[in-house]
Structure 1
Amino acid sequence: MAHLKKNTRGAVPGLAVHFERKTDHHTNKDIDVSKTYLNQDLMTDGSDMISRFNDRLSDVYCMKRDDVKALATWIVTLPEELAEASYEQQEAFFEETKHFLDERYGKENTMAAVVHYDETTPHLHYAFVPVVFDAKKERYKVSAKQVLTRHDLQTFHDDLDQDLKKVLPFYEKGVLNNKTLPFENVAEIKKYNDQFKALKDELTNVEENISAKKALLKITNQELDEVDLAEKQIDDFKQALSKNLFGKTVIKPDDLDRFKTVLANMKKATLQSQRNAEQTSHELSKVKEQLADAKAEHQNLKISSATSG
């Protein structure tokens, strides 16, 4: 899994504290300080992130505005297939990932590359200044817009996968199916995993209620088809939303809210009494339309996620 974020100059000191573990007082409760010694700094120049950042900005042009995205950060998480791999293989994965990022964005622009083994899942923090050459003014300048284009984001995961598979013989499955997810850290992912799991359990109960209601209402064949179609769309919707990440399910926050609405309407439909069988069928049709709209919206997640930030 990989996640990109664009940052202003004002965010750099805080990022440096987190990446380089410059404090023992962490707001992230997932950090196990007893394992911090396992963390690995892949930069070998003996400097630090802030010094590198200041030095690079002195060499290139950067607009003097507070909202300029002067630093970009990738978080690349160890794939599930390597969770039980040897330390040497995990180390090779992160070192080759850094090499790929250096080649893509310029080694001279790399400000930090730190592997954290003291959190829930090992991951690489890679920070770089997005620099391009300004042909008109014949100078290098900072431009996240020109470096981190839609094409760059849409091709990132495929390119990283191909590089890792070519270099690492033990690497097979890849990095999360071309998705760039809008989560800041593993803790945030877990939060939505837990909520989605609860919703899936709730949905199972709703589906069981639908089955019982079909027998109770003794509805016509046409109404039975409507219920079956609604059930099928629920299954399709679940499959479309879920992705296997560390053996867990991932859902985007916007879809989570939409899914809650769908469940509420479905439960309302299944609680109709026998005297309101016609109304039940009508409610199921409305849910079917909501599911269709939600599925269509889900198709836009890849582009909207890739262009966020």
Structure 2
Amino acid sequence: MSYAICRMEKMKGHALKGIQFHNQRERESRTNPHIDPMKSHENYDLVNSKKIDYNKRIKEIIERQKVGTRKTRKDAVLVNEFMITSDKDFFDRLEPKEQKRYFEEAHQWFAERYGEQNMAYATVHMDEKTPHMHLGVVPMRDGRLQGKNVFNRQELRSLQEDFPKHMRDLGFDLQRGEKGSDREHLTTQDLKAKTLKEKVATLEKEIGDKEHSLAEKREHLTDLKQSLDHVKKVDQVAFKEGGLFGHKTAKLELSEFEGIKTQAKLSESLRGENRALRRDLEETKEENTRLKDDNQHLGQENKALAHENRFLKKTLSQLKEVYKDRVKDFSRTVGICKAFVLSKLEGRLPEKCFADEQEKEGARDFLQAKKEKQQEKAIHRDRDQGMER
């Protein structure tokens, strides 16, 4: 039985444009060799009738429901993207209408659970080896963006139980993934690599079984040849001329004659079985060759995925370094601004540095509050020292 696969990834603002390019096939992918551009026209979106701007669409969903005036944090998770799929054998067993119904029912279930208004996109890819859907859910609840509360650990565990059960109830032959398995937490590339490794292992086992079967058939052929050699000994039976008109006849004991008859019948049967076994042997050889070719192809795909994974990790590392420098620059700028403001407040700068009286008055209030806070800390410190004595 096939597994229901439902994986989630958290997407922040900086990732939306790249996800948009991938999901809507806006640029040619250089890292995913599994995309067949000739089939990309078969892709569809269950939420949007045409291509959209992910940033604009998601911000519209947030602003439409948001209460209060507080701005969304720049590092907030804006959308939780689920990849809904199963294995290739599952989809091969379904008619095209049933494949589409699978994704439609999955989308409807998520819409009812997390709100139709929070569905940003539901893009189905039919141009890769296994059909799958990228479903974007904006984690809005009670007028606030709160991904940690909407998709906490308990909810994700419940989802892994409820989703396969719901799809089974609709007639799809699926089961839940293994409990405690790391399959639920793998990235897309790791999942593909893991699936390929499992398929390679399966093919290697099939090749081993075929080779074992081939060895058995060869052994059986050897036995048949020995049996045929035994039948050929009939030609060695001595004969002599005899009878009324001098015909050439063979004089045999009755038991020998019956044995020859049995061997003759067996010979015909063995020849037929021999021909059948030879055909099976040729078919097994062809199947073995095909399996080895598939295994080699999967090995190449596995290498491609590993290369892609290394490239993505390297890119991520470079991005971290870039943002790390930017954070340092920002912190340095804040420090300079803070030093400048404090200098103004403490009177180390001329009053002309203040824009107006209001700014000057605000500076005085801030400085007074700062002094009071320092005095309060000093009082507490003296009190604590007195208690220690």
Please classify the TM superposition score into its range, dividing by the shorter chain length: 0.5 to 0.7
Determine which of 5, 22, 26 is the counterpart of 1:22.
26
Whether 1:96 aligns to 2:105 is yes
Report the residue type matching 1:30 in the other structure.
Answer: H
1:78·1:90 contact (CA, 8 Å) conserved in 2? no
What TM-score results when the alignment is normalised by the length of structure 2? 0.45
Q: Secondary structure at the match of 1:16?
A: helix
**Which structure has the greater CA radius of gyration?**
2
CA separation of 1:19 and 1:175: change in aligned 2, threshold 3 A = farther
Deviations 1:270-306 (A, max 9, x none): xxxxxxxxxxxxxxxxxxxxxxxxxxxxxxxxxxxxx
Deviations 1:129-181 (A, max 9, x none): 10111xxxxxx010101100112101112211222222x33x12234345552
Q: Distance in 2 between matches of 1:149 and 1:162?
A: 20
Question: What does residue range 198-277 of structure 1 map to in structure 2 within 5 Å?
Answer: none
Q: Secondary structure at the match of 1:181?
A: helix
Determine which of 44, 58, 63 is the counterpart of 2:63.
58
2:91·2:130 contact (CA, 8 Å) conserved in 1? no
1:6·1:72 contact (CA, 8 Å) conserved in 2? yes
Cα displacement (A) at 1:110:
0.8
Determine which of 120, 129, 137 is the counterpart of 2:129.
120
Determine which of 151, 157, 160 is the counterpart of 2:163.
160
CA separation of 1:82 and 1:10: change in aligned 2, threshold 3 A = same
Report the residue type matching 1:77 in the other structure.
Answer: T
Cα displacement (A) at 1:10:
1.3
Cα displacement (A) at 1:105:
1.2
Name whichever structure is richer in helix by fraction.
Answer: 2
Give the match for residue 191 of structure 1: 193
1:49·1:111 contact (CA, 8 Å) conserved in 2? no
Report the residue type matching 2:177 in the other structure.
Answer: L
What TM-score results when the alignment is normalised by the length of structure 1? 0.56
Determine which of 2, 6, 9 is the counterpart of 2:6.
2
Whether 1:82 aligns to 2:91 is yes
CA separation of 1:191 and 1:46: change in aligned 2, threshold 3 A = closer
Q: Secondary structure at the match of 1:28?
A: coil
Whether 1:149 aligns to 2:152 is yes
2:62·2:140 contact (CA, 8 Å) conserved in 1? no
Determine which of 6, 11, 16 is the counterpart of 1:12.
16
1:157·1:177 contact (CA, 8 Å) conserved in 2? no
Runs of 4+ in 1 over 6 A off after TM superposition: 196-201
**Which structure carries more relative contact order (alpha carbon 8 Å, separation 6+)?**
1
Gaps of 5+ in 2: 205-389
Q: Distance in 2 between matches of 1:109 and 1:143?
A: 12
Q: Secondary structure at the match of 1:67?
A: coil
Deviations 1:15-60 (A, max 9, x none): 1111111123443111111111111211145562523212113224
Gaps of 5+ in 1: 134-139, 202-309
Q: Distance in 2 between matches of 1:190 and 1:55?
A: 33
